[in-house]
Amino acid sequence: MPASDSNKAIWTLIITGAALFMTALDNLIVGVALPSIRADLGGTIETLQWTVNAYTLTFAVLLITGAALGDRFGRRRMFVIGVGIFTVASAAAALAPDLNSLIAARAVQGAGAAIVTPLTLTLVSGAFPPEKRGAALGIWGGISGLGVALGPLLGGAVVEGISWQWIFWINVPVGLVLVPLAMRHLSESTGPDQALDLPGLGLVGIGLFGITFGIIRGESLGWTSLTVMASIGIGLLALAAFVAWELRAREPMLPMRFFDSRAFSATNGLSFAMFFGTFGAIFLLSQFFQTAQGLGPLEAGLRTLPWTAMPMIVAPIAGLLSDRIGTRPLMFTGLTLQAAGLGWIALITSPEIAFGQLVVPFMMAGSGMALVFPTAAATVLSAVREREEGKASGTTNAIREIGGVMGVAVLSSVFAANGGFESPQAFNDGVVAALPIAVAVLAIGAVLALLVPRRTPAVEQAETDEARPRTGELRPAAETA
């Protein structure tokens, strides 16, 4: 690899990594601030969910379109625009005078993140040769893990030291620095599929919003209420219509033939399961130390570090190992560790529990996350043609974010049915009832990991979308010992 190309690749990793860190940080940084936001702006567990889900839902719905915009208008150009949208929306969230304004700003933040995130993976993948891509994706996963790790800690420090509004203000200088750096150091590129699938975008947006809204409102309105049943029903019908449309669309935002690949289907299924369990659990546990144990935001953030810091340490190692032993054993081990860690927490947690008793299960859950982050990305990209990596990246990011939305919605509903904010014991009761749902979904994800083939056939770099993968060829990133 020539020195100039190497420098360009390093700059690409630095710039996209910083943007990825910023968007990953905002997935979890709000969690530790929720008690302060609730005290300042009011709100129930239901409305507080939307400060998280408004971000992740728009993020999930628009991710595939974000990749398509990069293919059509230029990946560097759209990366810069996405960072700009995210930065402006962060300032709007910081200035929000009420909860509805905060939720709206979070939704716009999610739209900006949806443009940025899939392009980070595509830009990094394109900047490194195949023999170095596994290590680069491992660093990419580690950066994402760093955002997860520092979210609760940084959020706690900012909320306690200044105010909750500053968890959003800190994005603004980062965004202002990234824009000129990206214009100077990132290479411009486009993809072969430049059409925008607006009907597909509309159907998937209606479908996901309908299901999420129904789940969130189910506990307060009743699961058999007309509003809840109609919302979920419309959502399911819209998703079915989305699949039917994508099967016949000339330029689909999500080619359904991707799912003909067992590696692609199983990996996206386990990614959904991982984010469902992880984000649903973190949403509740990030509030546990403040609400059930009376600690301050900074102390609460510090206590999540044994969990959230592990991806920063383990994910780069997992990326390197995936090139040698394959992704399947790493993904299976990761999901098993997460399920075991959260199951352990569900068995022992109480308002009086000593922090030392939670360290080992937190580390298990965090290490499990780290083993899945980069290996799932490598497996998905190895299952499609290089020219389709943008759509594949958008798809896998969308599916895992949808998992996070559903995890927060479902676990919060279980929490509300069994506990509440009235007392430390009530909060603990809700958490203990909700965590087994996360454990069960993570266990299903571990089973799906076993369905990933030991060897994934390489895909032919063909000029037409109709070209099919050739059999008998192997890609090193998907090989196992």
pLDDT tens digits along 63-84: 777 777 877 788 888 889 999 9
pLDDT tens digits along 437-462: 999 999 999 999 888 887 554 443 33
State the pLDDT confidence band at 412, using cuts at 50, 70 and 90: confident
CB of 433 closer than 8 Å to CB of 284: no
Q: Has residue 296 got a pLDDT over 50?
A: yes
Q: What is the CA radius of gyration of the chain?
A: 21
Please say whether the dihedral angle defined by the alpha carbons of residues 443, 478, 396 and 22, taken in this order, is positive or negative: positive
Return the higher-pLDDT residue of 406 and 323: 406
Q: Has residue 275 got a pLDDT over 50?
A: yes
pLDDT tens digits along 347-389: 998 888 888 898 999 989 888 887 887 777 778 777 777 667 6
Q: Does the predicted TM-score (pTM) go above 0.75?
A: no
Question: In the numeric block, which tokens belong to residue 243?
Answer: 């699949």
Return the higher-pLDDT residue of 389 and 175: 175
Which of 108-117, 235-244, 250-259, 269-278 is the least confident region? 250-259
Q: Mean pLDDT score of the chain, rounded to an integer?
A: 79
Phi, psi of 474 (to 5 degrees): -130, 145
- Give the model's pLDDT for residue 237: 94
- Give the model's pLDDT for residue 470: 35
For residue 474, give the 3-state DSSP assignment.
Answer: strand
Q: What is the pLDDT averaged over residues 192-198?
A: 67
Return the higher-pLDDT residue of 399 and 133: 399
pLDDT tens digits along 135-166: 666 676 666 666 666 777 777 788 877 888 88
Return the higher-pLDDT residue of 478 and 13: 13
Which of 126-135, 217-226, 378-387, 435-444 is the least confident region? 126-135
Distance CA 358, CA 307 (A): 9
Distance CA 77, CA 417 (A): 46
For residue 77, give the 3-state DSSP assignment.
Answer: helix
Distance CA 401, CA 398 (A): 5
